[in-house]
Amino acid sequence: MRRGLAAGAAVALLAGLATACGSSGTSGGSGTAASGGGKPVVGVDYPRSDTDFWNSFIKYVPQFGTENGLELKTSNSQNDVSKLTANVQSFISQGVKGVVMAPQDTAAVAPTLQQLNAKKIPVVTVDTRPEQGDAYMVVRADNRAYGEKACKFLGEKLSGKGKVVMLQGDLASINGRDRTEAFNACMKASYPGITVFGEATNWDGALASQKLQTQLTANPDIRGVYMQSSFALSGTLQVLQQRGLLVPPNNPKHVFVISNDGIPQELKEIAAGNIDATVSQPADQYAKYALQYAKAAIDGKTFKPGTTDHDSTIIQVRPGLLEDQLSAPLVTADGGTYGGVPSVKHDDSSLWGNNLGR
């Protein structure tokens, strides 16, 4: 059963709001812009296709495009903001009435947002929040909560002392910064006996593996790893195996590993005892609500801060920018509570990673 977009968001049809009225069904003969078949045309730029998480997102997009009655034009910017800019130009030439994107460089995307805003083409950003410029809506989870949940899980598992490696994403991305800052702040405040080695990896699995290897050589007593994304999963497991550290959680040599994403492989590795936890980033809901908001923008709807009917909260980041912060649960082998943070079991049927392809 399909759920509505916002319960406490006070949805209203308001013409004249810059981020929402570009393609609304206002008077003057234009109506809701649509393709020849009567469906509104929306451009969706995939940020990359080299990770399991984003490949999962890509699989969900057509399903929710159909559900929302949209015709989709798609492109892949391959983690390159110049390609994103070119892709958006192509979308404009194809007459799209809305754009969904996930800019990986959250500062450099500002001129592209300005161009779309000038053409009154509403933008929904997924997973990342632009640092400048307006968007109709940001669909994202609370990335600071990712870092805090990882901190509390490792802090409890290590009894508040020892050494951990944080394999950061790209610090040019607000996601990488949010997760890093929150993890560090939580460790400093709650677990001062734990030493954190932060390693920037630019969301690159090979680089993450290399830096983890280097840290383990210098500090063989490391007993925790925080991977800010599943991009580092295979390399981390390989390094731990090579060093004889890929052992069950009840073995004193076990290195506790927590990731972010919730892809099926992470859930399998938790079940096997190779990693210990992840934070499930909702690939399915990213696609679902990004496209619902794109359709809402074309229809001229607007939203206000408040709770929604899909277990999330819309916050106002700054004037002209709202963010729907979707739920992202901690996932563990036992479904226990760690540092006050409740978790769900890795085999819980509510997790998208257990339903992909069904």
Structure tokens at 99: 């754009």
Task: Report if residue 237 sits inside a domain.
Answer: yes
In this prediction, residue 64 has a pLDDT band, given cuts at 50, 70 and 90, of very high
Task: Report if residue 1 sits inside a domain.
Answer: no
Q: What CATH number is associated with residue 240?
A: 3.40.50.2300
Render 157-214 in DSSP notation, one character per residue. HTTT-EEEEEEE--TTSHHHHHHHHHHHHHHHHH-TTEEEEEEE-TT-HHHHHHHHHH
Query: Within this chain, do residues 178 and 307 fall inside the same structural domain, yes or no?
Result: no
Find out whether 233 and 266 touch, Cβ atoms under 8 Å.
yes
Query: Within this chain, do residues 295 and 255 fall inside the same structural domain, yes or no?
Result: no
Q: How many domains does the chain have?
A: 2
Answer yes or no: is pLDDT of 122 > 80: yes
Q: How far apart are CA 333 and CA 354, in angstroms?
A: 14
| pLDDT single digits (tens) 164-176 | 999 999 888 889 9
Task: Report if residue 5 sits inside a domain.
Answer: no
Answer yes or no: is pLDDT of 31 > 60: no
Answer yes or no: is pLDDT of 38 > 90: no
Answer yes or no: is pLDDT of 18 > 80: no
Query: Within this chain, do residues 168 and 129 fall inside the same structural domain, yes or no?
Result: no
Query: Within this chain, do residues 189 and 118 fall inside the same structural domain, yes or no?
Result: no
Residues in the chain: 358
Q: Chain centroid to CA 267: how far?
A: 17
Answer yes or no: is pLDDT of 334 > 50: yes
pLDDT for 357: 64
Range of the domain at 224: 143-280+329-354
Query: Within this chain, do residues 157 and 296 fall inside the same structural domain, yes or no?
Result: no
Query: Within this chain, do residues 116 and 175 fall inside the same structural domain, yes or no?
Result: no
Query: Within this chain, do residues 349 and 245 fall inside the same structural domain, yes or no?
Result: yes
Task: Report if residue 72 sits inside a domain.
Answer: yes
- Give the CA diameter of the chain: 72
Q: Give the residue-averaged pLDDT of 123-133.
A: 94
Q: Chain centroid to CA 298: how far?
A: 24
pLDDT for 210: 98
Answer yes or no: is pLDDT of 158 > 80: yes
Q: How far apart are CA 350 and CA 311, in angstroms?
A: 13
In this prediction, residue 356 has a pLDDT band, given cuts at 50, 70 and 90, of confident
Query: Within this chain, do residues 100 and 224 fall inside the same structural domain, yes or no?
Result: no
In this prediction, residue 105 has a pLDDT band, given cuts at 50, 70 and 90, of confident
Q: How far apart are CA 90 and CA 71, in angstroms?
A: 15
Query: Within this chain, do residues 57 and 118 fall inside the same structural domain, yes or no?
Result: yes
| pLDDT single digits (tens) 269-327 | 999 999 999 999 999 999 999 999 999 999 999 999 999 999 999 999 999 899 999 98
pLDDT for 358: 59
Task: Report if residue 81 sits inside a domain.
Answer: yes
Task: Report if residue 3 sits inside a domain.
Answer: no
pLDDT for 37: 59
Q: What pTM was estimated for this model as a whole?
A: 0.83
Task: Report if residue 208 sits inside a domain.
Answer: yes
Query: Within this chain, do residues 35 and 87 fall inside the same structural domain, yes or no?
Result: yes
Identify which of 5-14, 88-97, 348-357 has the greatest average pLDDT: 88-97
Query: Within this chain, do residues 131 and 147 fall inside the same structural domain, yes or no?
Result: no
Closest CA to 94 of 55, 25, 45: 45
Q: How far apart are CA 292 and CA 31, in angstroms?
A: 19
Task: Report if residue 243 sits inside a domain.
Answer: yes
pLDDT for 1: 35
Query: Within this chain, do residues 168 and 232 fall inside the same structural domain, yes or no?
Result: yes
| pLDDT single digits (tens) 204-238 | 999 999 999 999 999 999 999 999 999 999 999 99
